[in-house]
Amino acid sequence: MEQLLVALDVDSMDRALTLADKLRGHVGGFKVGSQLYTVAGPEIVRSLTKCGDRVFLDLKFHDIPNTVAGAVRSAAEMGVWMLTVHASGGHDMLRAAKEAAGNEGPRIVAVTLLTSLDDADLSHLGITQRPLADHVVALAELAQRAGVDGAVASPREIKVIRAACGPSFTIVTPGIRPVSVAQGADDQRRTATAASAVAAGANFLVVGRPIIEAPDPLAASKQLAEVLAP
């Protein structure tokens, strides 16, 4: 259960809090991303932390080091448990984020490559000198050298990141889909099942639509938690 983080990717604070109330105690925490944060702001984070929830703030900070450091300090003041920055922001930005968090602040995990992208997209971005998996590993290694706690990557890259960065490096994995959902059926392209992601070495799974759009979100979360049980 602790490994399962539910993405509250909804369009209102009321709906987010209703989902959190239903799922609290059955999942490991809640992700607040761009959609919810844009409509609800810091208040949604404070409301969740007030209830004792672990909040994963997924705003993917990507700016100059000083600006990102300030954003991390603000997140720490709100009680955020873990947050994302973009690995492509570079070593100095990543280092500034970790230093701003300090030892008592939120965990910092670096986004490597969005799960909606594939090899063709990488080529369109002008990244042609190495395969997608090698690019993801290089970004994860950059994050590790900068001292951040871990990386965010699709299920397809978990094993190679784990091999490159070792057992203590945190790997957060979105793109979790049931077996019944075909590859490429939505905008997540590099996907896998929860069981295979955990077997590959993921520390945390971020799951949104398969839970929050289910007829019974609690039943869906319990089913996933059973898969993750040791």
Task: Check pLDDT > 80 for residue 179.
Answer: no
Alpha-carbon gap, residue 140 to 146, rounded angstroms: 10
pLDDT band of 192, cuts 50, 70, 90: low
Q: Which two tokens stand for residue 214?
A: 């289910």
Which H or E element spans position 33?
Answer: strand 29-33
Instruction: Say which residue, 224 or 31, is predicted with more confidence.
Output: 31
Q: Which CATH class is domain 4-228?
A: alpha beta
| HSE (side-chain half, CA atoms, 13 Å) at 27 | 32
70-79, 93-102, 137-146, 174-183: which has the minimum mean pLDDT? 174-183
Q: Any idea where the domains of the chain sit in the sequence?
A: 4-228
What mean pLDDT do residues 71-78 have?
Answer: 98
Alpha-carbon gap, residue 208 to 99, rounded angstroms: 30
Contact predicate 160/101, CB 8 Å: no
Task: Check pLDDT > 90 for residue 230.
Answer: no
pTM for the full predicted model:
0.91
Catalytic residue among 31, 50, 60, 98: 60
37-46, 77-86, 198-207: which has the minimum mean pLDDT? 198-207
DSSP, collapsed to helix, strand or coil, labels residue 56 as strand
Instruction: Say which residue, 14 or 185, is predicted with more confidence.
Output: 14
Write the burial class of residue 60 (CB in 10 Å: 0-12 exposed, 13-18 middle, 19+ buried): middle
Instruction: Say which residue, 34 or 2, is predicted with more confidence.
Output: 34
Give per-residue pLDDT as tens, 198-229.
888 999 999 999 999 999 999 999 988 877 76
pLDDT for 126 = 83
pLDDT for 117 = 83
Task: Check pLDDT > 70 for residue 191.
Answer: no
pLDDT for 17 = 98
Q: Which amino acid is at 16?
A: A
Q: How many CB atoms lie within 10 A of CB 106?
A: 25
| Alpha helical stretches, state H, the chain | 13-23, 34-40, 42-50, 65-78, 91-101, 119-124, 132-146, 158-165, 194-200, 209-212, 217-228
Task: Check pLDDT > 50 for residue 185.
Answer: no
Instruction: Say which residue, 192 or 31, is predicted with more confidence.
Output: 31
Across the chain, which distance is largest between two alpha carbons, in Å?
47
Quick check: is 60 catalytic?
yes
